[in-house]
Structure 1
Amino acid sequence: MDKVSLRCEDEPIHLCGRIQEFGFLLVFDSDLSCTAASENVVQWLRLSAQELLGCALSSCLDKLSISPFDVKQLFSLFEKDPLFREVSEVTIQGTLFYLSIHQRGGLLYLEFEQCNPSKPSSTKLYSHARYLDAATENLWFALCESIYHVIGFDRVMIYKFMDDGSGQVIAEKTADDMSSLLDYRYPESDIPAQARQLYSQFIARHTVDVNADTYAILGRDIDALDLGRCSIRALSPIHLQYLRNADVAASASFSILVDGHLWGLVACQHRIPRMIDLGQRHLCVFLVQYTVNRHLAYQRNLDLQYNKRIKTLESDLKETLLVNPDILAVLRDHAGPLCDMAGADGLIIKHPEGTYRYGSCPNREHFENIQQVISLRGTKELAAYQQLQVDSPQGYLFPGVAKVDILNIPKLTLYWFRKAIEAEETWAGNPEKHYRYDTSTGLNYPSPRTSFEAWKRTVQGQSPSWKKRELLFMRRVKYTVQDAVMKRMSEIQVLNEKLVELNSTLDTYSYTLSHDLKNPLSAIKLAAQIIQQRNNLPDDFLKKISGNVLDAVELMSSMIHRISEFSKSKSFDFTPRIVDPEVLIHKIIADGKKAYPNAAMDIKIGTLHPFLGEKNLAYQLFSNVLTNAIKYSSKKQSPKVHIESHKAHGHIVYHIIDNGIGIPADELDTIFEIFKRTSNAAAFEGAGIGLSIAKRIADRLGAQLAVKSVLGCETIFILKFKANVGEPLMNSKPSIRPRLAKG
């Protein structure tokens, strides 16, 4: 039968079910009944575990001569924060204990941990904080020094998790007679995944004596007890043997969490058994977190300085790109800073118009191979490699490659390169994992490493890894170029739209000259031909024909004037001011009644609120709309025109209502187009320009112009202006409620 191997990461270390000798554990279920107790309670109490099992919490506390606590309040704290831990000092039969209470999986855990009677006195918080404040680049070494004095261990080291999962000692403080492990590497398997998960959840762990007895937990469902957050939990047998192999009798670790992620550990080792009580561990946890905050502040200051340099480069790059449309030339002029900010040895700018090289770069053949390899690996916008394998004589020179696609049309890509470095790594023993066979279980267990002697390995064909901020810089270059190109394209688009508008205006003028002026010009031509070809024309005939010429000239003059008004309505510049339309509207109505007289005309004027605009444009706008209302209702038996305004949500809304001929429903969408006359307006004079001018003026004023109509019954024009900025904007309803007549 094949032997099954148990991987190190498969060991259920949080369910090991044993505790260390310097304390004892009681566990209570949801009914506050003791469901589990460590077998060593008898050594601390005059009670056995069996005497406590099944007892109520209050009864257990009474037997331990401990004052009862408010369980209801405690559970409310657990509900708010599942990681909350209540800690107090209690004395049991003359021995001082720390009592730690926490909740996990619906169970209440009470840990009793003996206070250390011989803890060092040099645990002054203020002095340690001042010492850490004075450190900058040597911050982690300063942390080692502080914790070394707090716990008195032989070795305190900072173990940082690397990108490949392994760990490296980046700082340490040791006893004078111990050899240094600084820069030593440790394989990922030394701290498996489930151990790292525990370190993330419970940040302080320690073992007083790796050779001391450990004690089982007695009670119900012991195998399911989760001791992941128990300070007195015993380490797994594999880990204990690992420490023995490293000649360590006592150990401690404090997790280094950076932005919520496990960044590393403060690993502490002592050659003889040594206890670190809860007070010391809490101080160490505080010092670790204080150092993390100092580290983050230092790193963020570096990032701030780096970002300032990026913004300066981005600003210059964007400004130049907006002026110079030659992207390749602009990037070529900025190649030096682009290379320096990415920490690269060389840069290649690939563009359809050519390839530009800066600094140390691969030759043409090698570069083509790099492009091919990267393209086969996917189409990410940013691809970065520390060790890109390329079959090329020059392949080992530039294993570090980062590529960013800047534009797709035209195709523009930047490639940064880093040279290979040769580095010698020192490992604490050969990292190869070995297994041993357990005949009782039939499993292969991972065997703890027995040798930690320096084992050196030379690393070749690899470049320094790309930092996150360098990769972020590359993305920002992409977005900077794209933004500048899009802005320039947007400006070109605006110019194109203006050009199209000008062409449209020219087309309009052309149409007017070729079509609408054709009839009056024909009349003038015909009159001139008659006068030339006939002699002795009667006076009355000459008077009639000259009148036709004058009418044609007047019509042409009127049309030219209207075209001129139409063109000006789009280009008139003004400063918005408050316009009171009262006088303007009364004048427009008076002129309209003269132009289209009807004795039965009923014109009602409601409240006329001032609005933000320009007086001349406002006059022209109301003139076109109001005159239209009067004109197209003037032939009704009882013509009516109403004008009213009200305030609504920060705007002034005008309604101009007439009971004229109305607008066909299928022509409402085109009513504001130039030269567009409705199919039912043949009986009225006009050129179809007035409402086009009104729409353009409304757009210039930042107003909205809309229309509703029922054919043959009623038309409502709705004008929505911006209100006076300083005026209260309480809504008001019109005294005349606009409503379309039902027909």
Structure 2
Amino acid sequence: MGKAWLQCEDEPIHLCGQIQGFGYLVVFDYALQCIAISDNFGDWLNLSAGDLLGSPLNDFWTISKLDPATLSTFFSKFEEDPLYRQVSEIKINERDFHWSIYQLEHKIYFEFEQINTRKSSNTKLYSHARHLDAAGDELWFALCSSISTVINFDRVMLYKFMDDGSGQVIAEKTAPDMTSLLGYKYPESDIPKQARELYTHFIARHTVDVDAPTYSLLSKETDPLDLSKSSIRALSPTHLQYLRHAQVRASASFSVLMDGQLWGLITCQHRNPKMVDLAQRHLCVFLAQYAVNRHLAHQREIDLQYNKKIKSLELELKEKLLVNRKILEVLADSAPSLCNMVSAQGLAIQHPDGVYLYGESPILQHFREIQFAINQRSQKELLAYHNFTLADQAYEETFPGVAKVVILREPKFSLYWFRKEIEIEETWAGNPKKTPVDKPRGKVQYPSPRTSFEAWKRKVKGHATPWKKRELLFMRRMRYIVQDAVMKRVSEIQELNERLVEVNNTLDTYSYTLSHDLKNPLSSIKLAAQVIQQRDNLPQEFLKKVSTNILEAVDLMTNMMQRVFEFSKAKTFDFEYDTIHPEPFIYKIIAESKERYYCPDLDVQIGQLHPIVGEKTLLYQLFLNVLANAVKYSSKTEYPQVCINSHFTKDDVIYRITDNGIGIPADEVENIFEIFKRMSNSSGFEGSGIGLSIVKRIADRLHAEIKIESELGQGSTFIIKFKNHLVKESTLLSQNMSF
């Protein structure tokens, strides 16, 4: 049966139950009864530490001769902030100590640790702050230098956590006789998960001497006491052995937090035992946070400058897209800038019209395979890889750096940026691979702390420089700009389509109008021609009359065609209002309609026909359609009749045209003016259903009102109300015409 392997991340380092010898710890419950005390506490009070277990706080206070006002201050602050930690200085047996009071898991911790009397006096905040302010790009080196000045350790290095969990030394300050570890990488297992979690919440730790004895906690609790907030907690045996293998006796570490996340670790090592007291640690924590703030401010300045470049490029793109409707052409022209902004060597534009490749990018077939593989992995709008590989890499040149942003899914429109492979040589502090070893008696296997920290190198292939957050932000912003341009083009195309439909409708209406309204004059010409052809020796006077009728019909047709053509070719039609006497053409329309619809017995009653303010050809077409309909739909009745009369009101001239024809069904009256709308009872009568739609449009152009009163089988009355004054007297009007 295999042995259990105790992983480093399984070691409960915050429950070690041991403290270092430079301090004392006593723990009370909320009833103020002592529930735990460090075994060395009796050295201070000259009695057995176990005798204090269960003692009330007051007894402890009397024995220790501590100032009760300190505790009162703590409780008053604790009510406002449960995370409050109070620190003060006291003397114990003529030695100076820092006294910390804090609470954790419904317990109150009293922690005492010695003050380092041998610490350097160079702890002035101002000088350190000035040093960090002036560091510029060497900020992290300056931080290591400042902390080295404060604690005077042989090695101070800044270890940054990488995306893969490992860490790398990015800055250091070492003693002259020590080997530099700058650039060295450390495996994730060197600082296991639970240690990183602890370092996120308690940001300063130190060990005075890895070989010094530690002291147990005497406790009335059955469960191990949580020491995650303790400054004097002893390190785990595994970590202590790790430090011994590194040939150091003292260590300190300070967490570097950015946005609440563990970004890095300032690791300090000394070859001899060395004390770093609470004041020194607090100063180091302050310097670390000050450097973080300087770093973030510097990054914000870089981001600000980068955003200015983005905005400049955005403005340039928008201007180009405004002038040039060919989006692919604009992007291709801007490809160098699009690559420079994200430090890419190549660009591919997947466009509905095809693929455009720029710079050092894959050949088309290679790109197609990359595109397919990425689409198989994810459908996110923005994707970025720095170690992308194909399952079957058949191409000599590889592009492990690939970033994709989707502009539109349909039609397919995306941008791809490429970075070529860079060969990386990693230097590790010893071989990162660990081997399990047996503890005594072979009960548990555990990964041995590495015994060697000598440089161990390896070459890494298939990687490109990782994409930065601001570069991905740029890609996302490009998506919005191009997407907006595409949508505008789509909107323009849609508008053009609508206008095309409108033009087609206009052409249709133009042809329908001509074919409909030219029938009457054509009938007159045909009738005249038939008379001349069929009868010989016609009197000269009759021929003159017939030829006059033909010429008038031709003039009318020419005028009508010209007007309709003008309506159809423009949205505006200019005409002058005039006073028109409709009587002559009304009589003519009636006569032609009687002949056209074979209605010689039509009874026509014409009353007073008042002049109308309007345009002659439009009025002719209006009356032509209304009167022709009246004659047509009454022509099959036994006694066909059409009545026409008009009267004045204060503002209007009202014409009423009544017939005794077939009438209009009540439920169809409202829609009778729609184009191609024919009455359900109109079978047996010629027509296309556009005559009344023409009437309605002409009435609208003339600012006239038209309505119908009708009764099925009894006939219809058209009531047309014309303004009896000029809309704009003696001026040229532009009316919206959408024939």
| TM-score, structure 1 normalization | 0.70
Match of 1:343, SS state, is coil
Match of 1:91, SS state, is strand
Measure, in 2, the Cα distance between the counterparts of 1:98 and 1:425: 44
Measure, in 2, the Cα distance between the counterparts of 1:530 and 1:327: 59
Measure, in 2, the Cα distance between the counterparts of 1:68 and 1:496: 87
Q: Tell me the amino acid that sits aligned with residue 344 of structure 1.
A: A
Give the deviation of 1:206 after TM superposition.
0.3
Measure, in 2, the Cα distance between the counterparts of 1:374 and 1:689: 70
Corresponding residue for residue 31 of structure 1: 31
Corresponding residue for residue 125 of structure 1: 125
Match of 2:51, SS state, is helix
Corresponding residue for residue 271 of structure 2: 271
Query: CA 1:463–1:554 in structure 2 vs 1: closer, same or farther (change >3 Å)?
Result: closer
Corresponding residue for residue 3 of structure 1: 3
Measure, in 2, the Cα distance between the counterparts of 1:142 and 1:438: 43
Measure, in 1, the Cα distance between the counterparts of 2:379 and 2:344: 22
Measure, in 2, the Cα distance between the counterparts of 1:688 and 1:449: 104
Corresponding residue for residue 395 of structure 2: 394
Give the deviation of 1:377 after TM superposition.
1.6
1:99-122 deviation per Cα after TM superposition (whole angstroms, max 9, x unaligned): 111111111111111111111101
Corresponding residue for residue 588 of structure 1: none
Corresponding residue for residue 326 of structure 1: 326
Corresponding residue for residue 294 of structure 1: 294
Give the deviation of 1:546 after TM superposition.
5.5
Match of 2:283, SS state, is helix
User: Is 1:36–1:219's contact at 8 Å kept on the other side of the alignment?
Assistant: yes
Match of 2:268, SS state, is strand
Match of 1:299, SS state, is helix
User: Is 2:196–2:262's contact at 8 Å kept on the other side of the alignment?
Assistant: yes
Corresponding residue for residue 480 of structure 1: 481
Measure, in 2, the Cα distance between the counterparts of 1:364 and 1:508: 51
Measure, in 1, the Cα distance between the counterparts of 2:446 and 2:366: 47
User: Is 2:707–2:718's contact at 8 Å kept on the other side of the alignment?
Assistant: no
Corresponding residue for residue 316 of structure 2: 316
Corresponding residue for residue 606 of structure 2: 545
Give the deviation of 1:72 after TM superposition.
6.7
Corresponding residue for residue 403 of structure 1: 404
Corresponding residue for residue 535 of structure 1: none
1:141-220 matches, within 5 Å, as 141-220=141-220
Measure, in 2, the Cα distance between the counterparts of 1:187 and 1:198: 18
1:316-715 matches, within 5 Å, as 316-390=316-390, 391-395=392-396, 397-439=398-440, 442-490=443-491, 524-525=587-588, 545=606, 547-548=608-609, 550=610, 553=612
Q: 2:318 aligned with 1:257, yes or no?
A: no
Query: CA 1:440–1:493 in structure 2 vs 1: closer, same or farther (change >3 Å)?
Result: same
| TM-score, structure 2 normalization | 0.70
Corresponding residue for residue 633 of structure 2: none
Query: CA 1:456–1:679 in structure 2 vs 1: closer, same or farther (change >3 Å)?
Result: farther
Measure, in 1, the Cα distance between the counterparts of 2:513 and 2:299: 71
Match of 1:481, SS state, is helix
- Structure number, greater radius of gyration: 2
Give the deviation of 1:477 after TM superposition.
1.3
Corresponding residue for residue 630 of structure 1: none
Measure, in 2, the Cα distance between the counterparts of 1:689 and 1:496: 37
Give the deviation of 1:92 after TM superposition.
2.2
Query: CA 1:678–1:191 in structure 2 vs 1: closer, same or farther (change >3 Å)?
Result: farther
Match of 1:5, SS state, is coil
Give the deviation of 1:236 after TM superposition.
0.5
Query: CA 1:678–1:122 in structure 2 vs 1: closer, same or farther (change >3 Å)?
Result: farther
Measure, in 1, the Cα distance between the counterparts of 2:215 and 2:709: 99
Query: CA 1:689–1:471 in structure 2 vs 1: closer, same or farther (change >3 Å)?
Result: farther
Query: CA 1:163–1:122 in structure 2 vs 1: closer, same or farther (change >3 Å)?
Result: same
Give the deviation of 1:472 after TM superposition.
1.7
Measure, in 2, the Cα distance between the counterparts of 1:5 and 1:406: 50
Give the deviation of 1:411 after TM superposition.
1.4
User: Is 1:386–1:464's contact at 8 Å kept on the other side of the alignment?
Assistant: yes
User: Is 1:23–1:111's contact at 8 Å kept on the other side of the alignment?
Assistant: yes
Measure, in 2, the Cα distance between the counterparts of 1:676 and 1:234: 100
Q: Please give the root-mean-square deviation of Cα atoms over the aligned residues, in Å.
A: 3.9
Measure, in 1, the Cα distance between the counterparts of 2:64 and 2:515: 111
User: Is 2:709–2:717's contact at 8 Å kept on the other side of the alignment?
Assistant: no
Measure, in 2, the Cα distance between the counterparts of 1:688 and 1:116: 108
1:349-392 deviation per Cα after TM superposition (whole angstroms, max 9, x unaligned): 22232322221122233223322322322222222221222223
Give the deviation of 1:439 after TM superposition.
4.9
Measure, in 1, the Cα distance between the counterparts of 2:110 and 2:651: 100
Query: CA 1:689–1:334 in structure 2 vs 1: closer, same or farther (change >3 Å)?
Result: farther
Query: CA 1:527–1:101 in structure 2 vs 1: closer, same or farther (change >3 Å)?
Result: same
Measure, in 1, the Cα distance between the counterparts of 2:343 and 2:477: 15
Q: 2:304 aligned with 1:243, yes or no?
A: no
Gaps of 5+ in 2: 520-581, 596-602, 623-648, 653-704, 724-739
Corresponding residue for residue 740 of structure 1: none
Measure, in 2, the Cα distance between the counterparts of 1:461 and 1:266: 31
Match of 2:474, SS state, is helix
Query: CA 1:407–1:94 in structure 2 vs 1: closer, same or farther (change >3 Å)?
Result: same
Q: Tell me the amino acid that sits aligned with residue 409 of structure 2.
A: N
Measure, in 2, the Cα distance between the counterparts of 1:440 and 1:689: 116
How many residues align? The count is: 574
Query: CA 1:349–1:195 in structure 2 vs 1: closer, same or farther (change >3 Å)?
Result: same
Measure, in 2, the Cα distance between the counterparts of 1:371 and 1:505: 47
Corresponding residue for residue 134 of structure 2: 134
Of residues 135-144 and 523-532 in structure 1, the stretch that sits farther from structure 2 once superposed is 523-532
Of residues 100-109 and 18-27 in structure 1, the stretch that sits farther from structure 2 once superposed is 100-109
Match of 2:403, SS state, is strand
Give the deviation of 1:40 after TM superposition.
0.7
Task: Indicate the percent of aligned positions where both proteins have the same amino acid.
Answer: 59
Measure, in 1, the Cα distance between the counterparts of 2:722 and 2:367: 65
Q: 2:231 aligned with 1:231, yes or no?
A: yes
1:477-512 deviation per Cα after TM superposition (whole angstroms, max 9, x unaligned): 111101222234445656777888999999999999
Q: Tell me the amino acid that sits aligned with residue 476 of structure 1.
A: R
User: Is 1:155–1:270's contact at 8 Å kept on the other side of the alignment?
Assistant: yes
Give the deviation of 1:189 after TM superposition.
0.3
Of residues 230-239 and 90-99 in structure 1, the stretch that sits farther from structure 2 once superposed is 90-99
Measure, in 1, the Cα distance between the counterparts of 2:709 and 2:51: 102
Measure, in 1, the Cα distance between the counterparts of 2:142 and 2:107: 40
Match of 2:282, SS state, is helix
Measure, in 1, the Cα distance between the counterparts of 2:469 and 2:721: 64
Give the deviation of 1:416 after TM superposition.
1.4
Match of 1:88, SS state, is strand
Query: CA 1:210–1:365 in structure 2 vs 1: closer, same or farther (change >3 Å)?
Result: same
Q: Tell me the amino acid that sits aligned with residue 304 of structure 2.
A: L
Measure, in 2, the Cα distance between the counterparts of 1:678 and 1:504: 30
Measure, in 2, the Cα distance between the counterparts of 1:481 and 1:33: 70
Corresponding residue for residue 17 of structure 1: 17
Gaps of 5+ in 1: 533-540, 564-591, 596-673, 691-743
Match of 1:461, SS state, is coil
Query: CA 1:497–1:29 in structure 2 vs 1: closer, same or farther (change >3 Å)?
Result: farther
Measure, in 2, the Cα distance between the counterparts of 1:203 and 1:52: 31
Measure, in 2, the Cα distance between the counterparts of 1:594 and 1:524: 26
